Amino acid sequence: EVQVLESGGGLVQPGGSLRLSCAASGFSVTSYGITWVRQAPGKGLEWLSGMSASGHTHYADSVKGRFTVSRDSSKNTLYLQMNSLRVDDTAIYYCARWSGYGDSWGQGTLVTVSS
């Protein structure tokens, strides 16, 4: 069964850093892309970043230079390193298996940026 599972969310102060993990099962992260999407409280979905099967990365302008995607193929896991966090980064962060669209989503991990 194809599954992705996010972890690593929590409370962080403005300007701080956090690393989210997306553990994949039922498929290899070197065979499929993975993307990160977030949803601020009561708001819609925002595409953030992604890594293709070949390892190429893409970022939304809103996080370029602050967020970095990486992966550990041996753990079949993708990471989202988030630096210089701002209050408006507060959201549920989802990862999804990505073929241009997300066909399998995790349940999300909540990131709260607050002093």
CA dist., res. 41 & res. 50, Å (int): 22
Q: How far is the CB of 63 from other proteins (least distance, A)?
A: 10
Binding mask 40-79 for other proteins (x = CB under 8 A): ----xxxx--x-------xxxx------------------
Q: How far is the CB of 13 from other proteins (least distance, A)?
A: 27
How many residues lie near other proteins (CB under 8 A)?
A: 23
* 58 in Cβ contact with 47 (< 8 Å): no
CA dist., res. 46 & res. 101, Å (int): 13
Q: Which is nearer to other proteins, 12 or 96 (CB)?
A: 96
Q: Which residues pair with 115 in a beta bridge?
A: none
CA dist., res. 98 & res. 58, Å (int): 12
Q: Which residues bind other proteins (CB under 8 A)?
A: 35, 37, 44-47, 50, 58-61, 94, 96, 99-108
